[in-house]
Amino acid sequence: MIYPIRAYGDPILRIKCEKITDFGDGFQKLVVDMYETMDASDGVGLAAPQIGKPLRLFMIDSTLFDKENKDGVRMAFVNPTIVDETGEKWDFEEGCLSIPNVREDVSRKAKLTLQYQSITGENFEKTFDGMTARVIQHEYDHIQGILFTDHISAFKRQLLKSKLTKISSGKVNVHYRMKFPKRK
């Protein structure tokens, strides 16, 4: 099942999400549906609050950046915690399925170590870098209630204000299904 993507301005995008404790059938169905939703919207990542579920779950597909790039991964992260972030900060122009047609440079550290569970509840600790780290940092922010526009300067955010208001009210051209908080 493909879920509509929650748009900028939806209060669920500002919630610190809850830990997952039940890895049963309902959860497994949610994972399948989220992959389907991510693929239908050509996303490189999707976090549970973006489909209206305040849960510590996201998946990424960093293989989409470069088909030849063997470092890319397609995987889900459950109950993740960032245990370390290191390396030089670097800028990359980020976008977000919840904020269509907006792209801004965001500065983030190059490497991160993450503790997380697989979709079956197994525990892992792994270090990521490159585009995979970048996408994880963006999605991790989502489950903490943070959006990439929070990382840009107040001046740049001011310039985006009317565009963001339009997105909240559904005045945006987008090829995938969305749910807008202020649409009448």
35-44 CB contacts, 8 Å cutoff, 24+ apart: 35/59, 35/76, 36/1, 36/2, 37/2, 37/3, 37/5, 40/2, 40/176, 41/5, 41/97, 41/175, 41/176, 42/175, 42/176, 43/97, 44/135
Q: Is 96 in the site for Zn ion (CB under 5 A)?
A: yes
Nearest CB to Zn ion, comparing residues 6 and 114: 6
**Closer residue to Zn ion in complex, CB, 60/96:** 96
Q: How far is the CB of 68 from Zn ion (least distance, A)?
A: 25
If one asks whether residue 143 binds Zn ion (CB under 5 A), the answer comes out as no
Closest residue by beta carbon to Zn ion:
96
Q: Which is nearer to Zn ion, 23 or 76 (CB)?
A: 76
Please, what is the minimum distance in Å from the beta carbon of residue 139 to Zn ion?
7
Q: Count interface residues toward Zn ion (CB under 5 A).
A: 1
- In the complex, the smallest distance separating the C-beta of residue 7 from Zn ion, rounded to whole angstroms, is 11
Question: Tokens at residue 85, please?
Answer: 């972030």
**Listed residue (67, 72, 49) closest to 139, CA to CA:** 49
Helix (H), strand (E) at residue 34: helix 25-40
Q: Which of 88, 104, 125, 139 is catalytic?
A: 139
- Non-local (6+) Cβ contacts of 133 within 8 A are 108, 110, 111, 112
Task: Identify the residue whose tokens are 């979709």.
Answer: 119
Q: How far is the CB of 71 from Zn ion (least distance, A)?
A: 21
* 94: annotated active-site residue: no
Among residues 41 and 79, whose Cβ is nearest to Zn ion? 41
Which residues are annotated as catalytic? 139
Would you tell me which residues interact with Zn ion (CB under 5 A)?
96
